[in-house]
Amino acid sequence: MCIDHFPPRQIIEEGKEPTGYSVEIVKAVIQEAGLTLGFTPDTPFTRCLRMLKYGQSDLMAGLIDTPERQEYMVLLPYSSESVKRFFSLKSLKRNIETLDDLKGLSVSTVRGFEYPEEFEQVESSIDVTRVGSVEAAFEMVRLKRIDVVIVSDFRGKHYSQLPRFDDQLKSHPLTLAPPKPVNIGISKKGNAFKYLPQIERAVKKLQKNGTIEALLYSSETI
């Protein structure tokens, strides 16, 4: 499994086995399929995508389905992504209630991530900076180098609770796009592809018996 440090979805700590709710879901799926699971070191998201494209790694979790990704991986849906929301420092006086409210502000996005169509339609008309990770985006907001970051509602609330932000962040009223399915991606060139029927059956079984929902619910306390 190709992973990066992306808490609470994927958590990498030295000397410990990776965890986080996406990792625990994949562990449960692979165990149910009767297979074994290994992990890459902390690997940037876009590099993980390339590794799956060329069969250098077998799978990833937390992926949105796109036509480009379908060319080199099979995507197995297992949950829904939360809506996208804008977060900033509380010192930002403006409340973002419509996309027009972004005019004159700098907005951070993450390379390789998919964003709602409504946002992409106005992206060229606003000041957007792409960074390598969600953590980097929030750090730029904290340092006042960027005004606003757009992330999933769940992710933003997680960062808002971290001690280093010390109650400095606020969420804005505007949300974008209904939830989209989140997928496990299986590389078509990787070793795991020959086990695709087993993995697909395992995902469906763990969805049906409530295991995946339970792991997602427990992540709210991470």
pLDDT value of position 218 = 63
pLDDT value of position 85 = 93
Residues of the chain with pLDDT under 70: 81-82, 178-179, 217-222
Query: Do residues 66 and 180 lie in contact, with contact meaning Cβ atoms separated by under 8 Å?
Result: no
Distances (CA, A) of 50 to 68, 71, 184, 189: 12, 12, 15, 12
pLDDT value of position 184 = 97
Residues in CB range of 143: below 8 A, 6 or more apart: none
Residues in CB range of 42: below 8 A, 6 or more apart: 3, 4, 5, 12
pLDDT value of position 162 = 86
pLDDT value of position 81 = 65
> CA 108 to CA 20: how far, in whole Å?
24
> CA 159 to CA 151: how far, in whole Å?
10
> Domains of the chain by range and CATH?
21-80+180-221 (3.40.190.10), 84-176 (3.40.190.10)
- Structure token digits, residue 100: 């027009």
> CA 17 to CA 38: how far, in whole Å?
10
Residue range 144-200, pLDDT digits in tens: 999 999 998 877 888 888 888 888 999 999 999 765 788 999 999 999 999 999 999
3-state secondary structure the chain: CCCCCECCCEECCCCCCCECHHHHHHHHHHHHCCCCCCCCCCCCHHHHHHHHHCCCCCEEEEEECCHHHHCCEEEEEEEECCCEEEEEECCCCCCCCCHHHHCCCEEEEECCCCCCHHHHHHHHHCEEEEECCHHHHHHHHHCCCCCEEEEEHHHHHHHHCCHHHCCCEEEEEEEECCCCEEEEEEECCCHHHHHHHHHHHHHHHHHHCCHHHHHHHHHHHC
Q: How many CB atoms are located within 10 Å of the residue 1 CB? A: 21
* Average pLDDT score over the chain: 90
Alpha-carbon 202 to chain mean position = 22
pLDDT value of position 117 = 83
